[in-house]
Each structure stands twice: as structure tokens, then as C-alpha cells.
Amino acid sequence: MISFRFYRNNLRVIQILSEAIDSLEYFSDELAALRRSDVLAVEWDLRHSIFPESNIDLQYSHALVELAERLASLARPYIAVHWRLEHVPVENLAWCAASLVSTLRSGLGLVWFATDYHTLSEQPSVVKTKSAKSGTFRAVTPEHEEAMNILQDAFQMGGDLEGYAMTELPSQIKKLRMFEGNVQLEEDVLKDSGVSGILDKLVSMQSQVFVSGSRACSKTSSSSKQIVDFRESVMRDKEIALDIRNVVELFGEW
């Protein structure tokens, strides 16, 4: 018989397997593997801590860390921009985009753009479709479109960032495959929004220059904090051989 213990934190309910299964002959082969599992998390959308005290040092998969290092090495030197648009007042967006363009004039030619905004991809039918980078960012407004147009136009001929290049994770993975071959992760894994967010965060940690939005222009996120904390630790520890030239530069400060 299976019994469950419930841990509640905020609105999250996680079911934890608490007793071993005495007999599994009535279950599938997949469930039979539970005999070897200490903990089973039934809920996958873990946006908040599920236990009162977090004393477990969880690390990302070695495959993800290695891939992020390869992506960073291929792109280097680059500026990483982490811009969370969700919940930003729409009346701020155009001004924020213009401020970001001004901030990016740092002399480094490649801008790695990490965002929760929907990305545009060309399909064989030459019809542009939107695919979400965030599972919670659904309300795309004309103001969001205008802000992205301001940013993209700056990289065009005659724009303020002419001669610079803007790239995103999918493009860099494709480039990595061209130069180095297999990336050791399946395509459906790489398309997962959570995996993409982790890779963007790890690559941003290693960027030469890191840029993020002020409170007026960007949603506060744990990812940005983790990036800043990591970069601060590298700046303090001179023994870490990583070319990091700033901790963070904020755009959109009044």
C-alpha cells in the first residue's frame, strides 16, 4: 500500500512517497523503479521552496553545466542581457528598451539576449510564430512588441548598435552544433522552457559584461540574483580564472 505525507508551503502541495511498496506485481515496470527511490515529487512546477528549511545543496546536471560552458566559450567575449518583461508596467517598456540600447554601447560586439518574452521563429511557410519562453508570461501587448522593435531596430543598418550582433540560446546551440557537433542533450530537452532558463542563467554568469533591468524596467527574479551573487563571488576571489569585467549594470534607472 502506498501512503503519502504532505508538505505545504504557500500554495504548493508536494506528495512525498513515505512508505516502501511491499508488493509491486500489480504495477508497471516504471512504478517498480520506485523501490529504488527515496523521494518521489509528484508536482513538477516547483517555483517556491517546498520545505521549511532548505539545507540541501542541489546542483544542476553536469550535462547542462558543461553545455553552458561550451556555449560561453564559443560566444566569448559577449554581453549578457537578462530582461524579464512580465509584470513591467507597459507604459515603461518603450523607454526601457531605449535605455537598454544606450547601455549596450560598451564595445563588445555580441549581445546574448536572455528574456521571458516570446521569441519569433521563421517556419518553412515563412510565417512568423511566437513560442513562449516563460510558462507564466502570456499577455503580450502592443507595447511589448514596440519595445522589442526598438531593440531590434537598433542593430540594423543606421541604428545605434549597427555593427553589433544580438543572439539568443537557440541560435547559439545551432552554431555550437556546426562547430563542435553533438551537444549531448535531446532536442525536446533543449526546447523545455526550464532548461532554456537554466542555460541562459549559466551563460549569463560567465559573460564579460552583465546587464539587467532596474525595478522600473524588469521583473525581480531569483535568476538575476543568482547571476549577480555568482559574479560578485568571482570578483572577490581572484583565484577564479574567469574573465568577468563587471557585476551588473542596470538599464532603466530614473
- Closest-CA residue to 193 (of 169, 220, 161, 225): 169
Where is pLDDT greater, at 234 or 32? 234
Instruction: Answer yes or no: is pLDDT of 30 > 70.
Output: no
Q: Minimal CA–CA distance to 136: which of 72, 48, 225, 70?
A: 48
Task: State phi, psi for 198 to the nearest 5 degrees.
Answer: -65, -45
Question: What pLDDT score does 98 carry?
Answer: 95
CA-to-CA dists, residue 152 to 145, 198, 223, angstroms: 10, 24, 24
pLDDT higher for 211 or 58?
Answer: 211
What average pLDDT does range 113-124 have in this prediction?
Answer: 63
Q: Is the pTM of this model over 0.85?
A: no
